[in-house]
Amino acid sequence: MAALFDDVAAEGAMRPILGMEEPYHYRNKVVSPYAPGRRLSDGAERGRGGARDMRSASGRGRAGVKGHDRRRGRAEAPRREVLCGMYASGSHRIVPTDGCLIENEEAKRIIRAIRDLMGRFGLTPYDEDAHAGFLRHAVVRVGHESGEVLVTLVTNGREFPASRAFCRELVRRCPAVTTIVQNVNERRTNVILGQREQRLYGPGFILDTLCGLSFRISSQSFYQVNAVQTEVLYETAVFLAGLTGVERVIDAYCGTGTIGLVAAKRGAAQVTGVDTVASAIRDARENARHNGVENARFVVGDAGDFMRGLSRVGERADVLLMDPPRAGASEAFLEAAAELAPARIVYISCNPETQVRDLRFLKGRGYAVRVVQPVDMFPHTDHIETVALLTRDGSAEGSSRGDVGADVASSELGPGDAAKRPACGQDQARSVGVDVSKASSPHAGNESGGGRG
């Protein structure tokens, strides 16, 4: 990791990885495909809860349902074993798994319960080669703090006979379930979710708490799968942003507004979140309203275009928070960021290789990389997220914030400390190896708040 950042980061910028104290069953989002397996004898089929003569609980067997017998008015139970679990690496071969050491145990239990109910309600598993069958995937999301559970059933068709009875039985077996949504995906595609949805049970979303704020999570919402380490990640990013109550912040790729709202609550004067996904912006606005955050606004649009628009009219931003997808930021976005010239950029990345590429670009536009803080978001895998702090090279702001990158008390970060969740203020500063006495005033020598025009 250190070697990867050698040619872009200042000396001493790399911090020890922040690990997780209890790195098991942390994934709060569990996805499973359903597919036909081996043929079953009558006895074996009945033993799986799939008696052939069992009628659909609706008693009607509506027409137009893939995987249902429309002539007899009753469900046609699968004649094959129903497989669920994970895809083998680099393939679409399902490896049946009843448990996993990194997946939420309640979510996994719900995945199995859905499998066991399919035969009873005549829901055939999806065969991707034949593009036939009804149930393609289940996506289960569990609120880390709230314990609320959202189940999304991805179907190859909209008509869902006995959906009410199916939901009642699933909730009876798994009382933790608070809402169930049907997502319709009739395309031949590897993409899991389709565009059309309907609520089958409950409100259609769940709420969860992150960094002291409550967030609304729907089936299409982006929400980090490891809530414990997400708090470590976001607290670190907000600390490195150096917010003192006067900064104007842009949250690019803002999604549902998680990190922007944390920044709004933790010292930003104004936060503007920008994302191209309209549904995510709707959720972000609802999250702001729900949490009583009045100093944050959210805009549908391209963040690069938004920053260029600000530059054209002479507007400035003090801090840019950016959390792009794995492919990293586009060159057009990075050019727009350099044109706007915020005093500090906090770059969160799930792909250090594309992050280094982007940091190299920004370095060529007058920025210096002061801190690189890796966070182990996905224990027991080779994936890691990194937070990088960039400042304008040679500026007064860069010099004052340069203390964050230059004065590293690495001895303060022993193996135990690296695994602790950072808190706000001085404790958090120490968790990323920062000299608190020098970092306590991010605007030292520049009280105007980043020199905005």
Instruction: Give me the active site residues, please.
Output: 350
Closest of 290, 289, 299, 237 to residue 268, by C-alpha: 237
Q: Check the CA dihedral 289-291-294-295 and report its sign.
A: negative
**Rounded CA separation 48/64 (Å):** 26
- Sequence-ordered list of residues with C-beta below 8 angstroms from that of 203, at least 6 positions apart, any chain: 178, 179
C-alpha distances out from residue 374 to 199, 210, 436, 443, Å = 39, 20, 20, 25
Q: What is the DSSP letter of 31?
A: E
User: Quick check: helix, strand or coil at residue 437?
Assistant: helix
Other beta carbons within 10 Å of 434: 25
User: Quick check: helix, strand or coil at residue 92?
Assistant: coil
Other beta carbons within 10 Å of 279: 15
Whether 124 and 19 have beta carbons less than 8 Å apart is answered as no
Tokens matching residue 325: 């997808």
* Chain length of the chain: 453
Tell me the pairing of strands 177-184 and 149-155.
parallel
| Helix ranges (DSSP H) in 313-444 | 331-340, 352-363, 396-406, 415-418, 425-431, 436-439
Tokens matching residue 415: 């193996």
